[in-house]
Structure 1
Amino acid sequence: MINSSCLPTAEDVAWLPVEEPAHVGRARRSATALAERLGFSGTRVAELGIAVTEIGTNLHKHARQGIVLIRAIRGERDEAVEIVAIDRGPGIRDLDLARQDGQSTTGTLGVGLGAVARLAGSTAMTSRSGLGTVLVARFPVRGGAVAADDAAGLTRPISGEQVCGDAYAACRTPGRLMLMMCDGSGHGPLAATASTAAVRLFREMSHARPEEIVARVHAELRGTRGGAVGIAEIDLVAKSVRYCGLGNIAAAVLGEGRKQGMISVPGVAGHQARTIRVFDYALPDNAVVVLHSDGLTERWGFDDHGSDLFVDPPVLIAATLLRGAGVRKDDACVLVGKPR
């Protein structure tokens, strides 16, 4: 039997706007409540509260359209609270200075983003003039450094819904990284039922070929709303990507200064699939593979989303893409694979 391990799962608990002073306290309370649910110690909960207060205060004072995503990360051995802060503000001119302890970008707390980096297990940040800033900070239950993920995704429900109908997963097998996304038809819990079922099947079959998994998902989603499905098999030895998509999942390889789109055939898993086809693409050195639902427009380019593909971790790339391209009134999901 082929050894397979799936990456940590992420539960996107709440997207919270931070545009008024009261919003800062709401973000802190939401984050610390999640930490208590995950079993954080009292000291660790307090540290998280300090960090979220600093993040929220910076958003309120300096940003425009600031928003915080609070999410639970569950791995095989540990759990964490992850904070993703996104804004469309003027940007931070000197990121190195902002990261230093004792510096304040707002003139309020006087501890600056350096305190966030010190209290978190890992942090990443990007900022560009005219686009704004994205910050990701992960706080594990027991503290300490956090190993980098080679794939990460984000989901955001359509306005008015608490549950996103899109879902994703990523698994490793020897020599390859598997990425999967399902956009459940419609919105809300019924759409989520279909996408969650697709993720479960993918995790059970992550050793199989993409076309085999898509065919199985199509068969198993009968009786549900169904959905669009895309699976990318990144072969780290052959330096190639094998992609199978059914429906409106967008997929691309970003490398060598360009965006190479990958083909999905028409259909709806669980309802209609005239053909299931697989396509092969080259994987350049230092390439990034992106899958996203139609909650994001496909009109984005290689370097216009505000992230450095060669440096930034997958979750930071995903957040910048969601900020820039997630403009449609729909559930939104983006998954980024960055094989090492």
Structure 2
Amino acid sequence: MEALTVLGEIAPNGTEGDLWLTLDDVSAVARARRQTAALAHRLGFSETRTGEIEIVVSELASNVVKHARGGDLAIGVVRRGETSLLRVVAIDSGPGSRDIEALVTDGVSTSGTLGIGLGAARRLATSLDLYSVPAVGTIAEAQFADDSGSAPAPAVASLTRPLGGTGPCGDAVAYRELPEGHLVMLADGLGHGPLAAAASGRAVEVLLTSATTGPGALLAEIHRAIGSTRGAAVAVVRIEADAGRVVHASVGNVSARLVGHGRSRTLAAQPGIVGHRMPRLREQTEALNDALALVLHSDGVSDKWTLAGLPGVLGHGPGVLAAALLRDAAVHRDDASVLAVRTAR
């Protein structure tokens, strides 16, 4: 009898780690369906809604196995205010498609799958974001609330993947919504495994419970809070969309970059280890100008990535952007995480 993997405690605002499944054969489709159903039950979703989710997951996973000859599926929970949504992201490096929207037309089904077609999948999911590039691959992000109603498009999304795809992840992300925008953080606990996860998890607790919204002050709080852990690299950014700027403070090798249709801009970090060797903090302000998104990532993702091979990706949600960068730039020898924020109103 298959043992189902259970995700950790559900935390607010996208901070729970993702469960990763390798889609390498037909049996993986059934495994993905069972794992997703287990999470849906844990979230308290109805039997009817859980069945709808299983149908969509089977369609997405089957497409990856049959057309891309393999890929990955990430399953997790995201928070939108008081609502918990189940999220599934199917990622492949297959042949892709020039016109993936044609497959969403009613009556069109993908070869060898359940035959419901992506049009029905779009109707059953609360949201479905499809992105495909010929010879690069396809990403499908589906989110599900307990009912089939609509939900506002997310401004923040993230993916975390532990070394080897299983076990605790030493990277953690968190965010808070503010009247003027968002406050986001990515923490990379030193090393990997449970001890790294303890450091980054404590940083998440500070960000979510602190009364302050200043990135420098928050980093100082995190430094005091994780002194008994092995420490972490941490970046904290406050996005003030209405004012057209970001305020940031970063220590260690977490990368932060503003991206748009022009040249991207890297936000400077200071050397050190939060919790142990903290520099004299410098809080910096950067104008958004024409930036459309902010990207934070750990050093499990190469900082040499560009968007040149991802045409149109900034027209999709931040979850697709995070998945594309994780697929194309992860180094596979460390925990890896990407957090993406839409900066334009």
Relative to the length of structure 2, the TM-score reads 0.92
Q: Name which of 204, 226, 231 aligns with 2:231.
A: 226
State the match for 2:327 in structure 1: 323
State the match for 2:337 in structure 1: 333
- Range with bigger deviation, 299-308 or 168-177: 299-308
State the match for 1:3 in structure 2: none
Matches within 5 A, 1:124-163: 124-159=129-164, 161-163=166-168
Q: Name which of 108, 114, 117 aligns with 2:119.
A: 114
State the match for 2:88 in structure 1: 83
8 Å CA contact 2:15–2:172 kept in 1: the answer is: no
Matches within 5 A, 1:300-319: 300-305=305-310, 308-309=313-314, 311-319=315-323
State the match for 1:194 in structure 2: 199
8 Å CA contact 1:166–1:293 kept in 2: the answer is: yes
- Quick one: distance in 2 between partners of 1:106 and 1:163? 36
Identity of aligned residues (%): 40
The reply to whether residue 180 of structure 1 matches residue 173 of structure 2 is no
Letter matched to residue 8 of structure 1: N
- Quick one: distance in 2 between partners of 1:198 and 1:15? 23
State the match for 1:9 in structure 2: 14
State the match for 2:3 in structure 1: none
- Quick one: distance in 2 between partners of 1:190 and 1:150? 31
- Quick one: distance in 2 between partners of 1:206 and 1:336? 24
- Quick one: distance in 2 between partners of 1:226 and 1:299? 25
Letter matched to residue 139 of structure 1: F
Q: 1:237 to 1:155 in 2, by over 3 A?
A: same
- Range with bigger deviation, 281-290 or 111-120: 281-290
Deviation (angstroms), 1:328 = 3.7
Letter matched to residue 339 of structure 2: L
Structure 2 unpaired stretches of 5+: 1-10
- Quick one: distance in 2 between partners of 1:66 and 1:235? 37
Deviation (angstroms), 1:97 = 1.1
Deviation (angstroms), 1:108 = 3.4
- Quick one: distance in 2 between partners of 1:281 and 1:77? 31
8 Å CA contact 1:151–1:337 kept in 2: the answer is: yes
The secondary structure found in structure 2 opposite 1:202 is helix
Relative to the length of structure 1, the TM-score reads 0.93
8 Å CA contact 1:183–1:229 kept in 2: the answer is: yes
Deviation (angstroms), 1:293 = 0.3
Aligned pair count reads 334
What RMSD over aligned residues (CA atoms) do the two structures have, in Å? 1.8
Structure 1 unpaired stretches of 5+: 1-5
The reply to whether residue 215 of structure 1 matches residue 227 of structure 2 is no
